[in-house]
Structure formats: structure tokens, C-alpha cells
Amino acid sequence: MSEQVAGLDVRAAPSTESVSARRRFLLPLALAQFICSFAGSNMSVMINDISEDLNTTVKGVQTAITLFLLIMAILMIPGSKLSDKWGRKRCFMIGLVLYGIGALLSAASPGLGVLILGNSVFEGVGTALLIPPVYILTTLAFSDVTSRAKAFGTIMAAAGIGAAAGPLIGGLITTGISWRAAFVFQALVIAAIVLLSRRGVVDPLPADPERPFDTVGAVLSGVGLFCLVFAILQIGTENVLAVVFAAVGAVFLVAFFIYIRRRERAGKEVLLSTGLFKNRTSDLALVTQNIQWLMLMGTSFVVAVYLQEVRGYNAIKTGVVFTAATVGVLLTSLLAERFATRRTQKTLIVGGFIGAIAGIVLLIVLVRAWSSVVAFVPGLFVIGAGLGIMLTPSVNVVQSSFPEELQGEISGLSRSISNLGSSLGTAIAGTILVSAVALGNASYAWAMVSLAVAGAIGLGAALLLPSTPVVPSVADNQLQADQ
């Protein structure tokens, strides 16, 4: 059985095969998303250990974490384009290999420079290559709405659990062995994914090696985004440098927009079609995705730094505190399918934001009023539960807003927006905290307030979502792009 997608013959997808085949297909993809999300949050509990071992500072470790998330965001769209050119499975496997090399480099790093090379660069580039195929392959393999929702639910549950459990697992490994062993753990998981993928993952579309790649667009957008986030990292220490980088970033992004509009009018291949942003439903859902990950990673970093730098907790005690968030994400992720049959996706996203904002308020109020570590539990649990409810619906709204012919582009954009949110959360809230860490509770409160404000913006976007999104045709999207 086959169907025609973008003029290409699509072989039978896992959705038409046995349950065991679908599980073999989905397991390595979900594990890949898990380990990438884990990598983004587990370093936050190793801050003191890494700082002492590599003779660096909290700001240095924050830079490594933020650059990892930022490189993912910058290269996610180019990665989605290359997945069409090279083939989705091939791109996935190359990304896994690069990620594994980065994990081993990080484990053996003698200083911050090598750690940034391994963790931020190699793992960041590897993630940017392997994540877009996860979502493209899932979309192509599970064609009906119900099975696709279940598949995305599994992957997003893995993402949420990886991000929420990162501090706990990282804390256990760091305290029991060393922070370097946490990177060895990542390399071992990557090796397992490679083995599982060899026979389990099937690419239903052939590669298109003749497809052009917009190198200039990739450079312009990458430099622009890098400069803007790097500018945020400089606030409080190098304010003049921050202004310079912000200005340079803005110039490059404006140049990127002008460049792709000219290429579109000339009928040439572009890195990112502006027509994707003409879909109001997708635009709003992308905003919610960005802010969900901003809140999750921002909270993870702020709470972890506060516990270690102000409360003096070690890695294991810090990680155990995050068990509450992990339980919250896991609980609501397991109930995601039941929620989806009873409530609209808009309702779930709105409810998730309300819960996450309420959790941040609890973290501010209870922690300032109560010195016990138990004060963190209610807030982290509610944040985890809220995020677990809305992660899958947001992705499903974005992916389902476009036909299959555009899944490569929208998958890359969706993952880029989410990872940009992760890097912004660590950069913005982390910078507020780190720049005034001596203030203790005051800096912690201001950092959490910034996350609550972001959550309010996400809630506003969620309230504007239509209850029943309409999927436009390729012709509709092309017409919008040409206008």
C-alpha cells in the first residue's frame, strides 16, 4: 500500500503494520527526544561540581547550557531541510553519531573550552540533525489523527520527562559517581538508540539529493539568533557588549527576512518560507510552544542554581527536589490520551498555562515564607503537571495546521521555536538570577516573576487559538507566501 506525498512514492508506514512494528519504530524516536531534553536540563544540578573541577564559574556553566540550547535552535531549520536532501533516517543517524562524540568529549573535558566544544557544539549540532526527522517520520508514519496524536503524545511525554527528570538523574549520577559519568550515560543511551534504529526506523520517503540548500539564509538567521541570545547573557556584566550584539543580531535578522522575500519572489528555494507564518493558528501555537519550554528550562535552571548557590545543596539533594516536577509531567503525560478525548486542544493548552503560572506563584510565595525544602514541592509538581498537559496539544496543533507536503519545513520551525524558548528561558531568567545571586531570595523571586510574565503571554496566545483548527492545502500556503 502506498500514497503520493509531494510527488514521491511513499512505502507502507508503520501505522499499517503490527503493534510491535509501530513500537519498534517509535521507541528509538522517543528515546532520542528524551536524551536531548535530558541534556538540556541535567547540567543545572552539576553547576558546583563542574565549576570546581574545571575552575570556572556559574556564569561559565550557564553559557555552556545556553549555547547548547541556542545551537539547537539555530540549526533546527537547516537540519529539517537537510533531512529532505540526505534522507530522514540518514540525517537521524548522523545526528546520533555527532551527539555521541560530543558526549564523550564532554566527559573527558579538561576545561570549559572543551566542555563547550563537546556539549554545546557537537551535541547541539547532533541534536539539530536528529530531532527534525523524529517529527517528520512520525507525521508521515502515522497518517490518521488518532494514531498521530498517540505517537506525538509518546514523544512529547519523553521530552517532558527528559527535561523534568534531567536534574534528578543528573544529580544521582553526579553524586554517586561524577558529573563526567552523566555524559557517559548519554553516550550509552545514544549507542542503544543507534542499535534500535537500524531495523526499527523506516524512512517512507526517498532522499532528494538534488534539492537545493539555502546556505546564505542559514548563515544570516543563525548569526542573528546567536547574537540576540548572546546579548542577553551579557546583561549585568558587559552591558555595552550586550547592546552591540543585540544591534548586530537585529541587523542580520532583518537582512535574513529581506533576503528570503527576494528569493521567494524569484521562485527560488529558501531556508524558511514566510508563508508558514501566514497561518494564524500555527503562529499562536508556536508562541505557546516557545513559552512552554522557556518556562520549563528557565524554572529548572533558576531553582537548581538557587538551591546550590544560596541553600548550599549538593547535586543529589538538588535533583531529588525536582522529583515533584517529574511526577507532575509523567502523571499528566500518561493521561494525555484521555484528556484529548474529553477536551479540545485549546482547552488543554489554556489549562496547562494556568497550572504552570500557578506553580510559579507557589514557588515564589512558599519559598520566601518557608525555609524547608518541602516548600519547592507543590510549585514544581503543579508546573510539571501543567506543562505535561499542554506540550502534546501545542505540537499537534502546529503539525496539523499544514498538509504532509510541508511537514519537513514546519517540523524544523516547530523544533527551532521550542529550543529557542529553552535557550531564552536559561538566558533571561538565569541572567537575572546569576547577576544578582548575592541577593538570595530577592534575585530568585525576580527571576521567577520573569517566567510568570512569559507564562501570561503564552496564556494570552492560547486563549486566541481557535477551538477547531482548519488544515489548509499546499496551494493555500503557497498563495499566502506569494502575497
Count the Cβ atoms, other than its own, within 10 Å of residue 159. Answer: 29
Range of the domain at 249: 214-268
Give the pLDDT of residue 17: 55
Are residue 273 and residue 263 in the same domain, yes or no? no
Are residue 224 and residue 314 in the same domain, yes or no? no
- Report the distance separating Cα 457 and Cα 47, nearest Å: 30
- Report the distance separating Cα 198 and Cα 28, nearest Å: 10
Q: CB-hemisphere CA count at 13 Å for 450? A: 20
Number of domains in the chain: 2
Question: Mean per-residue pLDDT for 349-353?
Answer: 93
Are residue 201 and residue 218 in the same domain, yes or no? no
Look at residues 268, 285, 307 and tell me which one is the last residue of a structural domain: 268
And the C-alpha cell for 44?
Answer: 543545572
For 191-228, write each residue's pLDDT tens digit.
Answer: 999 999 988 788 877 777 888 888 898 899 889 888 88
Give the pLDDT of residue 16: 42
pLDDT bracket for residue 413 (50, 70, 90): confident
CA 329 to mean position of chain CA atoms: 15
Residue 127 domain flag: yes
Look at residues 224, 240, 268 and tell me which one is the last residue of a structural domain: 268
Question: Which run of H or of E encompasses 10?
Answer: strand 8-10
Checking if the pLDDT of 437 tops 80, the result is: no
Are residue 259 and residue 324 in the same domain, yes or no? no
- Give CA separation, 38 vs 35, 47, 392, 467, in Å: 5, 15, 17, 32
And the C-alpha cell for 164?
Answer: 523534568
Residue 150 domain flag: yes
Q: Do 289 and 414 form a contact (C-beta atoms < 8 A)? A: yes
Residue 143 domain flag: yes
- Average pLDDT over the chain, rounded to an integer: 82
Are residue 259 and residue 274 in the same domain, yes or no? no
Give the pLDDT of residue 460: 94
Checking if the pLDDT of 14 tops 70, the result is: no
Look at residues 250, 268, 286 and tell me which one is the last residue of a structural domain: 268
Residue 104 domain flag: yes
3-5/8-10 β-pairing? antiparallel
Q: Do 38 and 159 form a contact (C-beta atoms < 8 A)? A: no
Are residue 244 and residue 330 in the same domain, yes or no? no
Residue 129 domain flag: yes
pLDDT bracket for residue 441 (50, 70, 90): low
* Angle ∠(44,392,461) on CA atoms, nearest 5: 90
Residue 9 domain flag: no
Question: Mean per-residue pLDDT for 159-186?
Answer: 87
- Best CA proximity match to 383, nearest among 398, 364, 369: 364
The rounded percent of the chain whose pLDDT value lies above 70 is 88
Are residue 375 and residue 397 in the same domain, yes or no? yes
And the C-alpha cell for 134?
Answer: 523524529
Give the pLDDT of residue 483: 45
Are residue 69 and residue 103 in the same domain, yes or no? yes
Are residue 202 and residue 122 in the same domain, yes or no? yes
Give the pLDDT of residue 144: 67
Count the Cβ atoms, other than its own, within 10 Å of residue 438. Answer: 9
- Report the distance separating Cα 301 and Cα 96, nearest Å: 25
Q: Which residues contact 149 (CB under 8 A, 6 or more apart)?
A: 337, 340, 392, 396
Give the pLDDT of residue 481: 42
Are residue 275 and residue 252 in the same domain, yes or no? no
Are residue 197 and residue 342 in the same domain, yes or no? yes
- CATH number for 295: 1.20.1250.20
Question: Mean per-residue pLDDT for 44-68?
Answer: 85
pTM over cut 0.85: no
- Give CA separation, 480 vs 94, 253, 265, 319, 475, in Å: 34, 21, 12, 48, 9
pLDDT bracket for residue 435 (50, 70, 90): low
Question: Mean per-residue pLDDT for 378-382?
Answer: 93
Are residue 333 and residue 253 in the same domain, yes or no? no
For 16-31, write each residue's pLDDT tens digit.
Answer: 456 777 788 889 999 9
Residue 418 domain flag: yes
Residue 422 domain flag: yes
